[in-house]
Structure 1
């Protein structure tokens, strides 16, 4: 089993460095900001990106957690050995088998109300896939307008509730999305509970309806902040209303 200080090969390090540089450019963040998020020194980050030092497994994992993307794309890259239970998720996620949840895997257009504009809708991409190392479903968000808040985490599918939970846990800080099992056409509807960033360090708990639409069912999906004049606005708004109207989720008055 590889240890945290296992060094990646020269080719693996080159591929990881290239992916990181692409993410930095796409998100328009500085190397200093990335180093702070990954709890690395700027000097270490500069050396590995410049090819003056190989990546270690520990450094790669820290950068993956900071960026919310997988940097280990080659089959022979060292990863943690899969759990002994193989294709069965841990009990804490519902003890589901991979075969039992294969129909959830896929790429979704994710929509929720914009927290900053009452008339707008916030849309981005979410991929749900099986992670052999974790022996469970995981999710990764991408193409968010606020890229710094991109989330990734585990997917729980317990039999008892009949719901699916997308859980982010970063140093004890949680974001939870609870959705009903997919409809016959594949959509999932539910509630997101998270923290709204305000001025300075102010964070306020907030909940809102959320919908996951299989990307194949959305013709010409648009992402980002969707305004009323967008071609997909009416359809997106209808899906959000369906969350409450059917209801897949309920919001009680105070």
Structure 2
């Protein structure tokens, strides 16, 4: 009975920490949902959401949720996300059908905050869970993450290499463990498993985001449909880019991680 009670307490502690890590993402998606309920305003919804995202970022930094270095990583994720969005929207992978002053190449600037939210989650998780890595190979992992990012563009013109890259990532991260602390206890999991788990929850979040009108896939333009399970695998790969950026940032603060 005592063991069960301790297990439940640990699970609750873990849930609370996860909720704190997801605060930015939850607030962003909630803001998008609320924006669909607003009456017609003189300011376009996409422009309001961009200002809302900037305000959230400044608030998180001001109240200490994110450090100055975290904000730099989050800004990097925002820029990488915008480039990704520009190419994908141009190729017709999805669209932002509404108008806005802060919309360029069919992509509203607020779209980058969806990737910034992932950066915020990883930065906070690193700090709140006291993440440490063992057996991590930063150079090969970073090179493969870069190749994953490029492949999301190049597969429109060249053969899709995602499965080969996934296999290479599994090989490169074999023996790499993420150690994390919940309360007084240390736990660990394979790095590759953490990518899969984060990818799954990002797929769930993507379903919620498209449902409230953050963006629309071609099959959702005439009514919402669940996001394809193939996107689950895509997110599990794409999260490696954010991870590498955050790992580099954390390595500068604490070199004992590697």
TM over 0.5: no
Structure with more strand by fraction: 1
Structure with more helix by fraction: 2
Indicate the TM-score class for this superposition, using the shorter chain for normalisation.
under 0.3
Normalised to the residue count of structure 1, the TM-score between the two structures is: 0.27
